[in-house]
Amino acid sequence: MGGGTEVSELPEAILQSVFAAVEDTRTRNAMALVCQRWRETERATRTSLALRGIVRDVFLVPTCFGAVTTLDLSRLSPYGSALLPAEPAEERRLVARRLRQAFPRVTSLTVYARGAAVAAEWPGLRRVKLVRWHRRPEAEVGAELGGMLRRLAALAELDLSSFYCWTEDVAAAVGAAWPGGAALARLDLLGLASGQGFGSGELLAISAACPNLERLRAGCLFNPRLAGHVGEDALRGLAGGCPRLAVLHLLDPRGMGGEEEGGREEERGGGISGGALEEVFGRLPRLEDLAMEMHAPLGEAGAALEALGRGCKGMRALRLGRFQGVCRAAGLHLDGVAVCGGLTALCLKDAADLADPALAAIARGCSRLEEIELRACPRVTAAGVRQLAEARRGTLRRVSLSRCEGLTAARAVRALEPVRDRIEFLHVDCVREGAEEGGGGKRRRVSRGEGEWGRLRGLSAWVAAGETLGPLAEAGLDRCPRLEEVSIKVEGDCRRCVRPSPRSRLGLDALARYPRLRKMKLDCGDAHGYALTAPMGHMDLSLWERFYLSGIGELGELEELDYWPPQDRDMNQRSLTLPAAGQLAQCCALRKLFIHGTAYEHFMRFLLRIPTLRDVQLVEDYYPAPEGDATTETRFDSCSRFEAALNRRPIPD
């Protein structure tokens, strides 16, 4: 073989370009072990870092990542502890300066709110994300946020989607003569841990303080029975105050779950008419991504959506909740949402009158559609979904079908056969054939080998409490050679379910058929029952955790797991039980484990048996998260001892 140029002989500029193109963290770490030159090049080109470790061990902060611009400090252990010491003040300043010296170029910071004061060390920050699930401290309204924002005049993006506070805190802090308000381009307020929605006055105050917003996501009170609800005037004022908006998400936190139907005529759409929406859309010509979920059904929205399609030529993503008449498909001409021909992503929720002809019209009009989500659309059938899949075979990549009556797992999968070889993400409900007739219908098993889901990389499923993953296997999803990630959501009241037998299980072992499965999310947070106070004759949650986690040890390639334990809502407890700890300890290849709840220290010790485990985090991301120090579940020293034991073990790679 002729002599060629080796990688180590490349000029420094080219080598840095090669390293900068590598994004996977483990790959970069392996590259840094080759030689001293490669290590220095890797450190000099790494721009993003999530810092792990114990808060008090600040002397271990690495100083070789001077090029990092995106820094995540929110996961320092124990999760939720103060980043900066409360006393003395000199020690607080020392910690802050140490971080500033180690990462001098940071422009994007994610930090737990108890350590938000550290943001002042980087006055040139362009992006800040605050995280807090614990109780809001007793302080003057807006004082906590306002104190930080006053030091950040150049801030362009503020993310409070994972930050527990009051809506009046945000309005007071942002609207109180903040000098950086005019520079703010992105503001994310959707998903505040408090679950509140912004009223019209608060929304208008934010729009007046931040006139150059390009992206706004917020929960809004669309319920006309509530004082200060968001109505037509508030939407007009928002559109007039922020005409540059390209991304606008306004969702009613009380209407998203579908508990209230808002049947009275004056409540329909929260007092918002289609004509008012046309006026709002006319004031936002740059709109590209729109999401609106109302408290009550908004009727005859077709004309407003046609105005949206004509006036906002750049529309790419549309998410509508409780909009009726989105597409009538009454004739040959396209109407409603089908006029928005540039859409690549469409989500329709609680569209009671959406039928199969409308899906055919949408497929004909939206020729670039890549993502489609249908949720709680009772008139949609498998025939309509199949027609949509056939028409958009060349573009469709992501499909989510949820809570549509008659669309069982098997029917949904059969309807998507035309795009079986093209779908990259799929969500279905684990409902068996005949379940909609009360379980008495005849089950139909899809024959094996009908085809391969060759591009499927992500699979998501909803499972009712007490049910299993059997419908997925029956649907014909057994051949997915590239499947890398599975997400399972379990929901319901376990107290009303039949007691699980010792050998019964959810069916996680069936996922072992996917050879490339590396990451899984198992969310049982909305499966609730008795934690410690089960009455006579009732079962506690430890039995259900055994049921849901049995067989997880057979997933020999699983490397990352996010797990939400079932919870007792009456006690506000979401905690790992002994059977769950034993089952998780059998995951022999697990590297990252995030438990969204609490755990006793002696249960956590089971996890030390996993030879490859490197990162374990207890995330108490439910409100109100426990703050007391009465048990070993939340003690600082308990978490520190476990992490010290975890770090002492030799790790193979």
pLDDT digits (tens, 9 = 90+) for 230-249: 999 999 999 999 999 999 99
Alpha carbons 319 and 307: distance in angstroms, whole number: 16
pLDDT value of position 87: 58
The yes-or-no verdict on residue 521 having pLDDT over 70 is yes
pLDDT value of position 592: 93
pTM: 0.90
Alpha carbons 236 and 239: distance in angstroms, whole number: 5
Query: What are the tokens at 107?
Result: 């422009």
pLDDT value of position 377: 95
The yes-or-no verdict on residue 142 having pLDDT over 90 is no
**What average pLDDT does the segment 367-374 reach?**
97
The kind and range of the H/E element at 506 are: none
Confidence band, pLDDT 50/70/90 cuts, at residue 266: very low
**CA angle 216-218-219, nearest 5°?**
160
The yes-or-no verdict on residue 293 having pLDDT over 80 is yes
pLDDT value of position 441: 40
Confidence band, pLDDT 50/70/90 cuts, at residue 433: confident
Q: Cα dist. 288→82, 105, 400 in Å?
A: 39, 32, 21
Percent over 90 (pLDDT), the chain: 53
Q: What is the pLDDT of residues 5-53, one digit of tens each?
A: 677 777 888 888 888 888 888 888 888 888 888 888 889 899 999 888 7
**What average pLDDT does the segment 464-493 reach?**
92
Single out the residue of 168, 161, 245, 169 nearest to residue 207, CA to CA: 245
pLDDT value of position 29: 86
**121 in Cβ contact with 97 (< 8 Å):** yes
Domains of the chain: 8-46 (1.20.1280.50), 484-653 (3.80.10)
Q: What is the pLDDT of residues 462-473, one digit of tens each?
A: 999 999 998 888
Confidence band, pLDDT 50/70/90 cuts, at residue 618: confident
The yes-or-no verdict on residue 285 having pLDDT over 50 is yes
pLDDT value of position 177: 62
pLDDT value of position 261: 41
Confidence band, pLDDT 50/70/90 cuts, at residue 446: very low
Mean pLDDT, the chain, rounded, equals: 86
